[in-house]
Structure formats: C-alpha cells, structure tokens
Amino acid sequence: MTTMEVPTLAPRPTLRAKGRNIVAVASGKGGVGKTWFSITLSHALARANQRVLLFDGDLGLANVDIQLGLMPKTDLGSVVAGRMTLNQALTRFPEGGFDIIAGRSGSGTLANIPLSRLQMLGDDLVLLAGNYDRVVVDLGAGVEKTTRNFSQQAGTIMVVTTDEPTSLTDAYAFIKVTHMERPGTDMRIVVNMANSTREGERIYNTLLKACEGFLKISPPLAGVIRRDLKVREAIRNQTPIMMRSPNAEAAADVEAIVERLIRSR
C-alpha cells in the first residue's frame, strides 16, 4: 500500500464535536462514483424524512449541480468572495426534498483558497449543520488540504472504492492519513460498482485486511452497491436515480446503507 508524507492539519476539536451529523463522502481517487453516491445518499435520507443539506466540497471540480441538472443562482464562489454568507448560498432542490450548496466547477480561486479561509468555511458549515438532521459533504478525491479540512468536520466518513487496484490503494491511503490525523474517526467503507454483493464483500475484505494489518483498525462495511446500467442513464439525464429508476438495484443498495446509517445513531 502507498506510503505518503503529508503536512499536519491541526484539528479544531470544539466545533468538530458539533458536526456529528455531518457525513463526508470521500475517495482516494476520482471516477469511483463518489458524487453520484453523495446525491443518492442525500435523496435517500430525505425520503426517510430527514432534513438534509448536500454540500459540494469538491472545490476545484464541483459538479453536484450539474448531475442534478440545476443552475443555482448562488454558489460557494460568492461565499469565498465575501459577498454572502453560507446560509445565503443555499439552493432548494424541491424534487429531491433537500437543500444543496453548490461549488463552482473549474474555479482556481476555490481550489487555492487559503487554509485560514478554508477553516472558517468549515466552521460555518458546522454551524449551519445545526439546522439539519444530516449534512452530506461531497469531498474532492485524494488527501489535499480542502478534502482533509472538510473531513475533519464530519462525524462519519464514508470512503468509496471499487475493485480497481488503484482505487483500493488510494482508499487505503486516505484512511491512513485520516487515521493518523484523527485516531478513532468513524470511517466506513462503501464498495461501488460491484458485480455482486458477494464480490463487493470480497473487495471490502481486501481493504479491511490491509487496515487491520498495517493500521490496526477495522473500518466497517457501510454497504455494497451493485453495478447497474441505470446509474449511467440517470447521470446522463441529470436526474437522481431514485426519481428516474426508483426500483433500480443500485438505488435499493443505497437505501439499505441509509437504513443502517440511521439505525447506528
């Protein structure tokens, strides 16, 4: 597995303790379906009568709004520029029953935001989270400072991986860095695009073995999402899968993850 040297990002324990209802969705690499999962997770939580905010925390390559077919009038760019507060940047997605805060795709300003401003943004998100049952944060892939800052605010981190060796290796790297900075963090594994539930469990066990062998931790399996062509159809049509294909296997798998998430708190 990968060995990485990263600068320490100091945690902010007081506000962090208030963000227990924040669920950060992470991955070691891109292309594993993290944003799709964040949207579907938010939708499933809303269908379970939860008050939900979906925050696009992928500051450099934001695309939650694109996958939802939205053209929000406000986004994080205005917040970072000081023209509005985070609360004023909310956009309602009535069809899904949840709110979003959009990023701005390809924004160099957001991608290179100073660490002090980034931490203030994270603190504001923790305060805003008090208005919701759950806040889902779609993180950028990897272990960059923006990803690590937002993940520090979360009570739960779901690490999405697939069966690709690079995906598994990079997921392990993310878990390792997070464990080093925040021992005891509630990290759970989501195996996406598995050919079957059994294969997904095998993939999970591969990652679990590495975590137990090298890090002495055992992150649990949040769930397996089966490969489903209806996922691609939903993304192409910029529509949540539970609206376009509510009976899809992948939708049922995410609903099962939500049931376990709600039961665990």
Average pLDDT over residues 122-127: 92
User: In the beta sheet, which residues pair with residue 160?
Assistant: 190
Name the fold adopted by 24-262.
Answer: Rossmann fold (3.40.50)
With beta carbons less than 8 A apart as the criterion, state whether 137 and 42 touch: no
Answer yes or no: are the C-beta atoms of 86 and 101 closer than 8 Å.
yes
CA distance 40 to 37: 5
Mean pLDDT to the nearest integer, 145-173: 91
The answer on pLDDT for 74 being more than 60 is yes
Judged by DSSP in three states, 117 sits in helix
Percent of the chain with pLDDT over 90: 66
Q: Order across the sheet with 91-93: list the strands.
A: 91-93, 98-101, 52-57, 134-139, 22-26, 156-161, 186-194, 221-226
The tens digit of pLDDT for each residue in 13-56 reads 444 456 789 999 999 888 899 999 999 999 999 999 999 999 99
First to last CA, the chain: 32
Contact 161, 192 (CB under 8 A): yes
Of residues 63 and 135, more confidently modeled: 135
Non-local CB neighbours of 134 within 8 Å, separated by 6+ positions: 21, 22, 23, 42, 45, 50, 51, 52, 53
Asked whether the predicted pLDDT for residue 158 surpasses 70, the reply is: yes
Above 70 in pLDDT, residue 107?
no
pLDDT score of 252: 97
Runs of H (alpha helix) within the chain: 13-18, 34-47, 64-67, 76-80, 108-111, 115-129, 145-152, 165-181, 197-210, 229-236, 241-244, 249-263
